[in-house]
Chain A
Amino acid sequence: MYDFQYHKPATIADAVKLLAADPEARPVSGGMTLLPALKHRLNKPTSLIDLSGIAELRGVRREGDAIVIGGMTTHYEVATHPQILAAIPALARMAATIGDTQVRNRGTIGGSLANNDPAADYPAAALALRATIITDRRRIPADEFFLGMFTTALEADELVTGISFPIPEKAGYAKLRNPASRYSMTGVFVAKGPHGVGVGVNGAGPCAFRQAEMEAALSANWSVDAVANVKQSPDDLNSDIHGSAAYRANLVTVMAKRAVADAG
């Protein structure tokens, strides 16, 4: 990696101040995505703002009918937290399938949301559950947050501080892993919640998206059969050596069926 300055602020305000002062500075949470990029010299930030010293970014709490998870919460914490296990078990199960043990112990939900990797798990859950991403300055509905491949609504100096998930009546998740990276080739998160039915898809397209036809089908009839007949168009889906667009389109239906079965 190239040389960089290192800062470890104790408050969100200080972190944002550091970011605002230097457009080439980057926040680092778990570092599981950013550090490999630095090691490969794909990135040359002037300084890293380490968020791990900020107590405000930690913790999981219930706020009314929602579970609010702090940005620095690790995948391992999401997978094992009693309140999440009780309120949104599908989210905990999803977190338990991210990467490997090391990644789950370092990687964070805030880092994953901010990064918006098309093959990352959480964005599908955020979309399906109609989550709200909380930043240092505003609250952004998931539908308006994930804009495209590795692109979000965040401003350059804006930090994800947490995410609020409305507690669903039921939810389920299924994915097929890419045989090499073990990231999601295609995953589908389904939820029936206070704001209706949500179907979020990751891995298949350049950005996680909601599958409206499936949402309509499940709203009418929450069953495996309801999604079994909904075909995803392969247009605009990802195609690479591991999966063609047609293959991924098929997986959207298959994983949706399995996610509904998982939700019960």
Chain B
Amino acid sequence: MNVTLPSAVSSGGIGARVRRKEDLRFLSGRGQYTDDLVRPNQLHSWILRSPHAHARINSIDTAAAMAMPGVVAIYTARDIEAAGLGGVPCGWQVTGKGGKVMAEPAHPVLASGKVRHVGDPVAFIVAETRAQARDAAEAVEVGYTSLPALPDLRAATAPGAPSLHDEAPDNICFDWEIGDKAATDAAFARAHKVVRFETTNNRLVPNAMEPRAAIGDYDPNSGEHTLFTTSQNPHVIRLLMGAFVLKVPEHKLRVVAPDVGGGFGSKIYHYAEEALVTWAAAQLKRPVRWTCERSESFLSDAHGRDHVTTAELALDSDGRFLGLRVETLANMGAYLSTFAPAVPTYLSATLLAGVYTTPAIHGQVKAVFTSTVPVDAYRGAGRPETTYLLERLVDVAAREMGMDRLEIRRRNFIQPDQFPYQTPVALQYDSGDYEATLRQALEAADYAGFEARRAEAKGRGMLRGIGVSTYLEACGIAPSKLVGQLGARAGLYEVANIRVHPTGSVTVFTGTHSHGQGHETSFAQLVAEQLGVPIDMVEIVHGDTGKIPFGMGTYGSRSLAVGGSAMVRAMDKIIAKGKKIAAHLMEASVEDIEFADGRFRVAGTDRSKAFAEISMAAYVPHDYPIEELEPGLEETAFYDPKNFTYPGGCHICEVEIDPETGGVEVVKFTACDDVGRVINPMIVEGQIQGGVAQGIGQALIENTVYDGEGQLLTASFNDYAMPRAATVPDFTVLTSTTLCTHNPLGVKGCGEVGAIGSPPAVMNAVVDALRDYGVRHVEMPATPLKIWSIIHGGGDALPQAAE
């Protein structure tokens, strides 16, 4: 089903390109980020981090440091243990083969007995100034005995590898499977051809523009703790930190996440620094603040991706997919971060059907501890890994079958009349039209004219290639009951509290959090549309557990699909109550009241009341059905989604390679995405552009490299390549809509599609550009060095993947 939506909306409601309300303060430097907040009498802190990847801590001597100017306190694991604090909890328990529950080693707030990655926090130093705290940190003497590093998946899974944690002697966190092995084996037994493919999904450092920061505050009068933090989900932090680490009940713990400058997943998790500042503030009865340095963030913020995967695809002689086998090693890093176990499993392997009708799939994932920074969800979280695997695999299969790359896709697409479509890997897709997004993207990209452009580029000595990716993803997470069965330790509903004020202005308290997504605008549009009030009469409030009833925050492209749906439900309640008030005022029966365009009307008459008249009556209930109806106009809804949402689409990338330097330039990028109903097209385009920029970054330049000793070689922007304006082309971003069938807005989510759909499109284009060189596969990132080495067959050329 393709839906045509109103193209121009003048009111600022759904579909309008409303300029982002929040941008004025951001662009004029008036945003209020955590580090901008100044608390009276505040103290500063510095974290002494491990210089070793893996070492035993023999001793920590803080005496000299304590004597340094301005030092107020120095805490180590001993103090944390004496205070009875818990470790940093993991929010998801994966159960592996044979019902074996994952190994879940302790994750102490400060390293206890051992350090397990470079950057592991060892001591927390609090002083009058930040410089004093840092000076003192240099005077803390830690005696280490270094142990063998486990810097990557290979080292950690090698026979006889030393153990990082006693709880996981073989360094395996879990060994998990999904799908029907027997059916998949049977499919392979009757295959015309089996295509085998191995790949590594490169490890990334998220690098949000704003580094993490946290400020703890304590009110000895009320006993209330307050944490200001750079978080995507303050209520989740309150739950994890309050219940598991500090053991402080909710009513004595407020978590505020003010303006946050980007997260991309890295600010979902509860980090030790949050607990340290909150706890230390109560110990010292003074506010304690911590702000991460940029270089420190490379060693302290959860990384993303880092999967090594082998896949086999069974095809019949027509190129139809019969079966898929996938084995993945997933790097967890040194400790389990909040959502880490879910990423390679329920957020990744469940997507192995992609947009195709592959009837039999078997996926296996081994999660591995290594002496590296913890790895967790990063924009797309598991879905980019699977999408990259599938969309590269499909290109490789087309080549080995001698088929056209588009034809093999079309032959295997799930067709529009097959929805709802049950995949063999748990998910049930509700809607989509993959041919529609493919067709529109092909047209917009002038796919037909590509060979002429390739020939023209050749005349300039350049190798031009084109790549296509047709993908879907599962987001809008998630149905609580389902994720509970899968091991989530939380529900994944969302909450909205809508307060209509007497004069008809509206404050919306949402449990989601905006850190770049533009919620203050698109949510206001949604409310303006449904309540028929002007958009500037709507205020969106987020990020404060002291104001908002509850919420699970923003990640997994869930804010609109789940949080927006909660708003719709709360507004339904507002309107239902408004109808009762209107019926009373207009002496009509409730059933006869209609609400549209901000007016309550008696059906079939010209009698009506404006929204503001009803809200005023609710707060000044002189003429009011006071016996039956409470005064006031404020409603709360908790919305639990019925299913994931399934955005998808087609990305087409064109690159030019300079064979002399190996440099790859993206010269054209076209995306046609189906994100469900679009509330603000400008914001959707911006989200997709940003995601594509990150996808191009992963494909071409971003890479996290540890050496054999577990030292991070790419520990600053000097060596870790981030995409810049020059890395990305002008995009063509289109949307083509089928509506989500199970949420009240028909929305699917657009936050991650850019980063999910784009890397394979880029890499398919790179391989296509090299088609004359007999190249079967190029691993990400396609750096100049790598491409040059492939072209010139030099010492650095990659081995061809085994046939």
Contact A244 B795 (CB under 8 A): yes
Task: Give the shortest distance, in Å, between A59 (CB) and chain B (any CB).
Answer: 32
Q: Is the CB of B785 within 8 A of A250?
A: no
Quick one: which of A2, A41, A182, A254 contacts B661, CB cutoff 8 A? A254
B718:A180 contact, CB within 8 angstroms: yes
Closest to A245 in B: B795
A40 within 8 A of B: yes
User: Contact at A242–B660, with CB atoms within 8 Å?
Assistant: no
A243 & B720 in contact (Cβ 8 Å cutoff): no
Q: Let me know if B713 and A241 touch, CB within 8 A.
A: yes
Q: How many residues in B have their beta carbons less than 8 Å from beta carbons of A?
A: 30
List B contacts of A147 (CB < 8 A).
Answer: none
CB distance from A55 to the nearest CB of B (A): 34
Per-position 1/0 for A202-241, Cβ under 8 A of B: 0000000000000000000000000000000000000001
Tell me which residues across on chain A come within 8 A of B720, comparing CB atoms. 180
B residues in contact with A41, CB < 8 Å = 134, 138
Most buried by B among A179, A180, A181, A247: A179
A179 touches B783 (CB 8 A): yes
Query: How far is B662's CA from A246's CA once the two chains are assembled, in angstroms?
Result: 13
Contact residues in B for A251 (Cβ distance below 8 Å): 661
Which of the listed residues A180, A181, A242, A254 has the most CB atoms from chain B within 10 Å of its own CB?
A180
Interface residue count for A (Cβ, 8 Å)?
20
Is residue A96 within 8 Å, beta carbon to beta carbon, of the partner chain?
no
Q: In the bound complex, do residue B661 and residue A241 qualify as a contact, i.e. CB atoms below 8 Å apart?
A: no
In-complex Cβ contact of B796 among A1, A180, A244 (8 A): A244
Residues of A within 8 Å of B160, CB to CB, are none
- Residue B784 is within 8 A (CB to CB) of chain A in the complex: yes
Instruction: Enumerate chain A residues within 8 angstroms of B714, measured Cβ to Cβ.
Output: 180, 241
B732 an interface residue at 8 Å Cβ cutoff?
A: no
* A16 on interface, CB distance cutoff 8 Å: no
Cβ–Cβ < 8 Å partners of B295 in chain A: 40
Which of B362-370, B553-561, B675-683, B786-794 touches A? B786-794
A176 touching B718, Cβ below 8 Å: no
Chain B hits for A176, CB < 8 A: 661, 663, 784
A242-B785, A246-B795, A247-B794 in contact; A180/B661 too (CB < 8 A)? no
**B147 on the interface (CB 8 Å rule)?**
no
Check B719 against A247 for contact (C-beta < 8 Å).
no
0/1 interface trace, chain A 161-192, chain B, CB 8 Å (1 if under): 00000000000000010011110010000000
Are the CB atoms of A244 and B785 closer together than 8 Å? yes
- Contact between A179 and B721, CB atoms less than 8 A apart: yes
User: In the docked arrangement, what's the CA distance between A235 and B101, Å?
Assistant: 54
CA separation between A41 and B134, bound complex, in Å? 10
With known contacts A242-B783, A244-B785, A181–B794 Cβ distance under 8 A: no
Chain B, 292-304, contact with A by CB distance < 8 Å: what is the 0/1 string? 0001000000000
- Pick from A180, A241, A247: contact of B788, CB under 8 Å: A247
Q: List 22 A-B contacts (CB under 8 A).
A: A1-B131, A2-B135, A176-B661, A176-B663, A176-B784, A179-B700, A180-B714, A181-B717, A181-B719, A182-B724, A241-B713, A241-B714, A241-B719, A242-B719, A242-B785, A243-B784, A244-B789, A246-B795, A247-B785, A247-B794, A247-B796, A250-B788
Contact surface of A with B, Cβ cutoff 8 Å: 1-3, 40-41, 176, 179-182, 185, 241-244, 246-247, 250-251, 254
Q: Which residues of B contact A (CB under 8 A)?
A: 131, 134-135, 138, 295, 660-663, 700-701, 705, 713-714, 717-722, 724, 783-785, 788-789, 792, 794-796
